């Protein structure tokens, strides 16, 4: 583990280079139990006692706790991954549009930034966490107004690090169905794409 990198871990800058490789590479290992979350937490705690670090939630430890939060939220809630009979989920009247959903899932929306993200997801099984936020927002409250349940299913199929509770919790959060209510805070599929990839290298 690179101590200096761990100590300075924070919100990564959104650049075309950052979009091409995992920030830590740890999420699939945590997902499949190859890396113990408890062991990782205590190793980080030991390291943080020795070196100066950023405070949660920007630290790696804070990111791990965010994961565990969704695990706890899903406990004793068998309907955590759906709207129906889910006491944590706001019952938003989403539209139903199979054609729009298919175009989103296959990277054919006509928005280069969104489509590039979905193509990367299909080809590599991984996308940057901010890219996940962007396509989730686009599918739900940002543009298409389709149910987060549909996006969750696509992520569950394609992501190498897909995790039931984290996936469902993140989709509820990003669609403002739970855990977050600032529905007006959205990722513009044009402006944000230009900011993240001004030269167009990523979308090409």
Binding residues for FAD: 63-70, 161-163
**Packing angle of the helix pair 129-137, 164-174 (nearest 10 deg):** 50
How far is residue 178's CA from residue 140's CA, in Å, rounded to a whole number?
13
Q: What are phi and psi of 116, to 5 degrees?
A: -65, -40
Burial annotation 116-136 (CB, 10 A radius, 16+ → b, else e): bbbebbeeeebbbebbbbbbb
| Phi-psi domain of 33 (left: phi exceeds 0; alpha: psi -120 through 50; beta: other) | left
As annotated, the binding site includes: 63-70, 161-163
How far apart (Å, rounded) are the C-alpha atoms in residues 85 and 83?
6
Following CA atoms 166, 89, 172, 186 in sequence, which dihedral angle do they give, to the nearest 10 degrees?
-160
Q: CA-CA distance, 11 to 56, in Å (whole number)? A: 11
- Nearest to 66, CA basis, from 129, 135, 142: 129
């Amino acid at each position: 583990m690179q101590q200096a990198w761990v100590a300075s871990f924070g919100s990564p800058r959104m650049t075309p280079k950052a979009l091409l490789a995992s920030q830590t590479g740890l999420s699939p290992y945590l997902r499949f139990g190859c890396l113990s979350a408890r062991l990782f937490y205590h190793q980080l705690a030991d390291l943080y006692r020795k070196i100066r670090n950023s405070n949660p939630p920007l630290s790696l430890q804070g990111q791990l706790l965010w994961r565990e939060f969704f695990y706890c939220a899903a406990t004793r809630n068998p309907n955590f991954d759906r709207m129906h009979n889910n006491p944590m989920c706001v019952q938003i009247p989403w539209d139903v549009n199979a054609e729009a959903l298919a175009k989103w899932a296959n990277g054919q929306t006509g928005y280069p930034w969104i489509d590039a993200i979905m193509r990367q997801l299909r080809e590599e099984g991984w996308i940057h966490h901010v890219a996940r936020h962007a396509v989730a927002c686009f599918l739900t409250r940002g543009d298409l107004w389709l149910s987060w349940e549909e996006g969750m299913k696509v992520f569950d199929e394609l992501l190498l690090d897909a995790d039931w509770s984290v996936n469902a919790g993140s989709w509820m959060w990003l669609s403002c169905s739970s855990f977050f209510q600032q529905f007006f805070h959205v990722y513009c599929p044009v402006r944000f794409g230009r900011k993240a990839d001004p030269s167009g290298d990523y979308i090409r």
